[in-house]
Amino acid sequence: MTKTLIRFKAKLFRPTESEKAGSWTFLILPKSASAKLPSRGMTAIEGTINGFPFQAALEPDGQKSHWLRVDRKLSKSAGADAGDIVTLEIAPAGKETEPEVPPDLRKALAVAAPKARTLWSAITPNARRDWIHWIISAKQEETRTRRIKNACSMLAAGKRRPSCFDRSGFYSKSLSAPKAVPGKI
């Protein structure tokens, strides 16, 4: 089966909040490109940016589209920086990329019931990604802590995904693209 490439151009933006100035940029997919993907939620992709190959996970933007975080290494390899228009050719990835587990969740899973750890290992990377996004979408630290505890309990009880989590962010607005630096790219 041949993958259908989705081709588009997009502008790179600098986020208003980042750990270090200039450490990463992002772009928002045109709705027409996003509509060709299999999910409004997080989607693993592979493709090229300015001809340079990469693999990544697109994040939902809460507007029925997606955004892509472009780290400094990828940006440099693609010869692009904030303010530049880049050319992308993407397709859903043949294999799902493994999400990065936040340290607080990793610590909780390490001491969770064996059933929780077993199920965490058995679920798909996309299901793990849903748990992670449900946890990190909490606006307050107390909520995040409570969600981590609840996630461990639900996993131990055999629950494979958080049921109340809107993967697209469209209905709950729990997910969105970063805010771009105004006036300055």
Q: C-alpha angle with apex 86: 85 to 89, nearest 5 degrees?
A: 145
The per-residue pLDDT for range 134-151, each reduced to its tens digit, is 898 888 999 999 999 999
Contact criterion met (CB below 8 Å) for 29 and 10: yes
Share of the chain above pLDDT 90, in %: 56
pLDDT tens by residue, 151-165: 999 999 999 988 766
Model pTM score: 0.64
Angle at 68 between CA 162 and CA 79, to 5 degrees: 155
Tell me how far apart the alpha carbons of residues 53 and 51 are, in angstroms, rounded to a whole number.
6
